[in-house]
Amino acid sequence: MTTTDTHGTPHSGSAAQHHVSLAETATAHNYQPLPVVLASGEGAWVTDVDGRRYLDCLAGYSALNFGHAHPRLTAAAQEQLSRLTLTSRAFHNDRLGPFCRDLAELASMDLVLPMNTGAEAVETAIKVARKWGYERKGVAPDRATVIVADGNFHGRTTTIVSFSSDPVARDGFGPFTPGFRTVPYGDSAALEAAVDENTVAVLLEPIQGEAGVLIPPPGYLKAVRDVCTRENVLFIADEIQSGLGRTGTTFACDADGVTPDVHVLGKALGGGIVPVSAVVSRHDVLDVIRPGSHGSTFGGNPLAAAVGHAVVELLRSGEYQARAAALGERLRGRLDGLIGRGAVAVRSRGLWAGIDLDPALMTGREACLRLLDRGVLAKDTHGSTIRLAPPLTIEADQLDWMCDQLSDVLTQEGS
C-alpha cells in the first residue's frame, strides 16, 4: 500500500508523518533525510512504518555491504550479546585477538588498532603517521605534514574538516588544525611536488565516494605508491567506503596491484550492526603506539570484535568480492545505456556507481525523491549526482529492476 504523496511526502496522519514530525522537532538538523521512515529490513529490502517495501540501494554508505540482518552476522551478534558486550581495553577479552589476527591476515598486514567510527579511524591514522614521522623518519617536532586530495571526505571531526574542501562541512568550524597540504586528486605530479622533508604521509581515498564515486586515472595509485616508497612517506588508504568487497576486490587498491602502508577501515566492518573501525598496518608503523598514547573505551569491545570477525569470515572465500565484480559489470552495462537519456556521465567500480544527471532535467535530490516513489532508496550528492551502492547480496533481477526504475525516472515516464 502506497502511503506517500508525489515525490515522497508522507500522507497527513500516517505513521510516517508522525515519526518525521517527531524527528524534526526533537533532533538536531544535521541531516536532510528523504521522507521515509524505515522500520525493518532483510537482505536488500527494507520496509517502512506504513508497510511499504523499498530496495535499499545506498546500503548505509557501504556499511551494509552484506545486506540487512545477514543471518551469520546477526547470529554472531546475538550469541555475543548473551555473553559479554564490553570490558574496555583495561582488560583482555576472548574475541579481540582472533578478530585482529584474521583482519590483519585479510589485509596482509601485521597489526590492527581497533576503533569505532570511520572518523575515529582516520584520526587514529593521522596520529600514528605523525608519531611514526617523529620517531622513525626523524621529522623535527611539531613539523609533520600530511598530503591530502582535493574533494576528499574522511569524516567531520574538527581535525578532518580542517583539510576538507567542502564549504558546508568546513565553514564556521575554525580555527583549523594545521599540518595538511591539499593537492588535486588524480594528479601524481602535483602530489610528488608537495612532498618535502616534513611529509609523513599521503592520505587518500582510492575512490572518492562522497565526491560522486570518482575513480582516479589509470596508474595513479601505483604512482602514489612509488612516490611514497621513494620518499619514505606512509601511504594511508582510506577504504572505509571502498573496502571489504564493495568494488569487486577485498580492497579497492587491490585492483591496481597496490598495497598501502596503512589501511583505514570501517562501515562494512561492523556488518551494519555495530560501529567497528580499524587501522591496519605493519609492526614498524603501529609499534609507535604505546600504552596511554591512544585508546577508546569501546574500541575493540567483545560485541564489536565478534561481529567484525564474522565479517572477515564472510570475506575469506571471495564470494562477495566475486558477486560485486560480476553484478558490477551488469550494472555498468545498464547505466551506460542512460548516457544521453537523462544522464551525462557514469562512473562505477563493482557495485558502486555515481551518475551525473543533466541538471536541466532534475537535481539529484529530485531524482532520489522520484526513485523513492518507485520503491528505490538512493542518495544524491553535489547537486546533480546520485550514488548507488546496493548490498553485495542483491540479486540480478533486483538490480535490473532498480535500473528500470532509474531509467523511467530519467526519461520522466510516469513522473
> Which tens digit of pLDDT belongs to each residue from 84-98?
999 999 999 999 999
The predicted pLDDT at position 6 comes to 43
pTM given for the model? 0.96
Dig out the grid coordinates for 40 from the structure: 525493518
Instruction: Write the CB contacts of 266 (distance below 8 Å, at least 6 apart in sequence).
Output: 63, 117, 118, 121, 240, 275, 276, 277, 278
Domain annotation covers residue 1: no
- Give residue 12's pLDDT: 56
Radius of gyration of the chain (CA): 22
What is the count of structural domains for the chain?
A: 2
- Coil, strand, or helix at residue 283? helix
pLDDT of residue 1: 29
Contacts 24+ apart (CB under 8 A), 160-165: 160/119, 160/122, 160/123
Residues of the chain with pLDDT under 70: 1-13, 413-415
Per the residue annotation, which of 56, 235, 267, 380 is the catalytic one?
Answer: 267
Residue 412's pLDDT is: 77
CB 259 within 8 A of CB 330: no
Domain termination residue (choose one: 316, 333, 350): 316
Residues 137 and 286 in one domain: yes
CB 387 within 8 A of CB 378: yes
Residues 6+ apart with CB under 8 A from 230: none
Check 238, 261, 356, 373 and give the catalytic one.
238
Q: Is 267 a catalytic residue?
A: yes
Is residue 199 helix, strand or coil?
strand
Residues 108 and 231 placed together within one structural domain of the fold: yes
Q: What pLDDT, on a 0 to 100 scale, did the predictor assign at position 194?
A: 98
Catalytically annotated residue among 99, 153, 251, 298: 153
Q: Are residues 16 and 79 in the same domain?
A: no
In the residue annotation, 397 being an active-site residue is answered as: no
Last residue of a domain, one of 261, 287, 316: 316
CATH number for the domain spanning 397: value is: 3.90.1150.10
pLDDT of residue 13: 62
124-175 per-position pLDDT tens digit? 999 999 999 999 999 999 999 999 999 999 999 999 999 999 999 999 999 9
Residue 415 lies in a domain: no
Grid cell locating 15: 505513521
Q: Is 131 a catalytic residue?
A: no
